[in-house]
Amino acid sequence: MDGKEVTLAGFAHETRDLGGIAFLVLRDRKGLAQVTLVKKLLGKEVFKMARTISRESVVLVRGNVKAEPKAPRGYEILPSEIRVINAAQVPLPLDPTEKVECELDTRLDARFMDIRRPSVLAAFEIESSVLKSLRDYFYQKGVTEVFTPKIVAAATEGGTDLFPISYFEKEAFLNQSPQLYKQMLMGAGMDRVFEIGPIFRAEEHDTRRHLNEAISIDLEVSFADDKAVMELLEEAVVGAYRYVSENCRYQLEVLGLNLAVPKLPFRRITYTEALDLASEKVGVKMQWGDDLDTETERFLGESIGEHYFLTDWPSSIKPYYTLPYEDRPDVCRGFDLMHPRMELASGAQRVHGYDQLVGRIKEKGLDPDGFEFYLKAFRYGMPPHAGWGLGLSRLVMTMLNLENIRDAVLFPRDRRRLVP
């Protein structure tokens, strides 16, 4: 576009005043543009106004493009018109140029300004691309997108980690997971469904990888076992990495990342093998039925060094809807997808027989009467089925090597933060 007239609008990223010449750097979500201000070309009044524009003001510039090797991206704009559409107050709550670092709480308190920082914005544009890749993959596989209720009458897994809400004259809860509803849809003959939506967990975590509101990517497939849906999960994850590496080069450049696409298939490790490996690493003999804590997961991740599946879990650890092996009822067809840093997804082949499901609910110390709306779908022909739930923010956090899951959520909700 060298020599052509253009009109640009964006934020005043910074200004540099060198006397008779000044530079205004304009920024939008696609990058920076240098506007070169020459006093004798603009006139005294316009030049004075332009060089004192406050940072982050919204500015419109009309002018001619000129090739300039020293300018960002090799071009500058010689303006014929400069207009401040909306001036920013000073001082700013934080520095969007990223030259001055600030604490996470400060950033989150002024999240609208924090997202103007190129590296923060880049992460969310990549997150959008991840979602596009996943949706494209599901539609290619003939999966139907659905939306299930987020206001429910009963806990998905019967636990106490629920947010109660007032629902007219009744008590209701924010849903922990679409699990029960997507299983009911298998009984409805929908065969393959996916949902991307919020889930809520009233757990009092205060860590870098837990939040109380998250976006979950859920899949459920009829006439499939745990191995079949594990293949779909690893293909979806690798496809997202590949899509980002091919279509988000500018954003990856901003983040300083050279994204490596994981190789298929992911390694499969049984729970028993993980116990042996962890006992060796941690130095403490772990017992069958012990859950794997954060330290154990970290040791496993360091040892394996890539995405992997943990399979064949004890039935006592996994939820009631997880199908045990017929010949080994203490072992179930549950699995977790692990990144070396943390768990990304959890899934299983489900119990599809009514009597067995009622028995499993009772084994967990729960009352089947509280699940009647769900159990009803299992009385009239429920096909075998399997599925999983994948955490979007954890996927993005590990993909981009972010330090805190809050950097992968626009407006995070944790035990201390309810605004903005």
Q: Are 142 and 202 within one domain?
A: yes
Q: Is residue 38 part of a domain?
A: yes
CATH of the domain at 24: 2.40.50.140
pLDDT greater than 80 at residue 286? no
pTM: 0.94
Q: Are 80 and 131 within one domain?
A: no
Across the range 90-119, mean pLDDT stands at 94
Q: Look at 39 and 390; give whichever has higher pLDDT.
A: 390
CB atoms within 10 A of CB 77: 25
The confidence score (pLDDT) of residue 217 equals 98
Across the range 250-276, mean pLDDT stands at 95
Q: Is residue 298 part of a domain?
A: no
Q: Are 163 and 21 within one domain?
A: no
Q: Are 248 and 169 within one domain?
A: yes
Cα angle vertex 152, ends 148, 153, to 5°? 145
The confidence score (pLDDT) of residue 39 equals 86
- 3-class secondary-structure state, position 348: strand
Q: Are 144 and 194 in contact (CB under 8 A)?
A: yes
Q: Look at 20 and 254; give whichever has higher pLDDT.
A: 254
Assign 3-state DSSP to the chain and report helix, strand, coil percentages, each to 5: 35, 30, 40
The confidence score (pLDDT) of residue 186 equals 98
Q: Are 123 and 237 within one domain?
A: yes
The confidence score (pLDDT) of residue 158 equals 65
Which domain, by its residues, includes 342? 118-266+306-408
The confidence score (pLDDT) of residue 293 equals 82
The confidence score (pLDDT) of residue 70 equals 86
Catalytic positions, written as ranges: 201, 203, 209-210, 343, 346, 394
- Assign 336 a pLDDT band (cuts: 50, 70, 90): very high
Q: Is residue 284 part of a domain?
A: no
Q: Look at 356 and 21; give whichever has higher pLDDT.
A: 356
pLDDT greater than 70 at residue 159? no
Q: Are 257 and 345 within one domain?
A: yes
Cα distance between residue 242 and residue 248, in whole Å = 10
CATH of the domain at 191: 3.30.930.10
Count of domains observed in the chain: 2
Q: Is residue 275 part of a domain?
A: no
Chain segment 118-135, per-residue pLDDT in tens: 999 999 999 999 999 999
